[in-house]
Amino acid sequence: MADLIDGESIAARLRARVKCEATELAARGTPPGLAVVLVGEDPASQVYVRSKLRRTVEAGMTSFEHRLPTSASQDDLLQLIARLNADDRVDGILVQLPLPGHIDSDLVLDAIDPLKDVDGFHPVNVGRLSAGTGGLIPCTPLGCMMLLDTVIDDFRGLKAVVIGKSNIVGKPVAMLLLERECTVTVTHIATRNLPEIVRGADILVVAAGHAGLVRGDWVKPGAVVIDVGINRIVDGEKRRIVGDVAFDEMDHAGSVTPVPGGVGPMTIACLLENTVRAARRRRAEPMVAGDEAVHAGSA
Ligand code: NAD
């Protein structure tokens, strides 16, 4: 039977640690502040933003909520970001994606001060990640690495396969695995012989958005499987969320993350972690011990 990597409890521990750090920073001046910007009425985005704001406050930080109507112009949004960049109470800025079609997301993300870019999407942070020279790391890939750290001591030389090459999950997670000196293969929709490639993996990270894509006979005995996928399916009368991995077929894996309860809870916890990290850096406070291991390659 594969070990379950319990993202809920690992995320709860991370949130508790972040709260301690936020409290310390508050005692020395002001609490870390996270500004969340939502444009429009997308229901899923509203749910995400609500839970991000709630977790921010629970972690002892200040949250700044900025809601703009769908009709807001690109200039309105750029002006808001300029104000948040200049606001000393704000350590992190998150613009909830997707943005309405008339707004150029790249332009908006590029306008965020890289030191406050807690999503890690700014080209400066993307570049730093690929150069292994520090910066803020996107939350979901950071969460994947923290989960892997709970079951793997030494990454060097392990074969890692990543399914999916998106900028928010696949590519950054591949960079982080490479930084740990894994031998990394990044696969995608056009990859040939995917099952055969996956069979060579000691570590498998799946971020395809395809329910049940990875079958049991693709996975080598003992492999560590991180399932990033979130797929809403209808199962008879019920609606439920499943991952990209056929979870019931993973008995022979070494460890596996469930969906829900695996990577998902880590994403918001890592957003809080990035906010504290951004606050420390902006205030020239030293990073805490243990933090550097998590952010290996991101001094
Ligand atoms: P995306 O659509 O931007 O990218 C998907 C990638 O998977 C692409 O590179 C594509 O080539 C590849 N792919 C798709 N189908 C494939 C197939 N059949 N075989 C091989 N490769 C395939 O998606 P994304 O934003 O990277 O998200 C991927 C999944 O992760 C989604 O289900 C998303 O909801 C989920 N997600 C979860 C979290 C979380 O917090 N748990 C965060 C972000 C994304």
pLDDT tens for each residue of 10-25: 999 999 999 999 999 9
Of 139, 147, 188, 242, best ligand 1 pocket probe by most atoms within 8 Å of the beta carbon: 188
pLDDT tens per residue, range 30-84: 999 999 999 999 999 999 999 999 999 999 999 999 999 999 999 999 999 999 9
Contacts of 153 (CB under 8 A, 6+ apart): none
**Amino acid at site 263:** V
For residue 163, give the ligand 1 atom closest to its CA.
21
Q: Identify the pLDDT of residue 298.
A: 42
The verdict on the CB of residue 230 being under 6 Å from ligand 1 is yes
Q: Which of 91, 113, 117, 119 is catalytic?
A: 119
- Tell me how crowded residue 46 is: count the other CB atoms within 10 A of its CB: 14
Q: Which CATH class is domain 29-117?
A: alpha beta
Q: Which CATH class is domain 139-264?
A: alpha beta
Q: Identify the pLDDT of residue 285.
A: 82
Of 214, 228, 241, 266, best ligand 1 pocket probe by most atoms within 8 Å of the beta carbon: 228
CA 9–ligand 1 middle distance (angstroms)? 24
* CB-CB contact of 233 with 196 (8 Å): no
Of 119, 166, 186, best ligand 1 pocket probe by most atoms within 8 Å of the beta carbon: 166
Report CA-CA distances (Å) from 256 to 43, 128, 130, 211: 30, 30, 27, 16
Every domain of the chain with CATH number 3.40.50.720 lies at: 139-264
| Helices (runs of H) and strands (runs of E) counted in the chain | 10, 11
pLDDT tens per residue, range 68-77: 999 999 999 9
The verdict on the CB of residue 115 being under 6 Å from ligand 1 is no
Q: Identify the pLDDT of residue 286.
A: 77
For residue 191, give the ligand 1 atom closest to its CA.
20
CA 32–ligand 1 middle distance (angstroms)? 31
**Is 19 one of the catalytic residues?**
no
Every domain of the chain with CATH number 3.40.50.10860 lies at: 29-117
Q: Where are the alpha helices (DSSP H) in the chain?
A: 7-27, 43-58, 74-86, 105-111, 123-131, 139-149, 170-179, 194-199, 263-282, 291-294
The closest of 103, 105, 112, 36 to 71, measured between CA atoms, is 103
Instruction: Give me the average pLDDT of each 10-residue run along the chain (299 residues).
Output: 97 98 96 98 94 97 98 97 98 97 97 98 97 96 98 98 98 98 98 98 98 98 98 92 98 98 97 98 78 50
Model's pTM, two decimal places?
A: 0.96
**Is 96 one of the catalytic residues?**
yes
The verdict on the CB of residue 213 being under 6 Å from ligand 1 is yes
**Is 171 one of the catalytic residues?**
no
* Residue 9 main-chain phi, psi, to 5 deg: -75, -30
40 vs 180: CA distance, rounded Å: 40
CA angle 207, 213, 214 (to 5 degrees): 85
Closest residue by CA, ligand 1 atom 34: 230
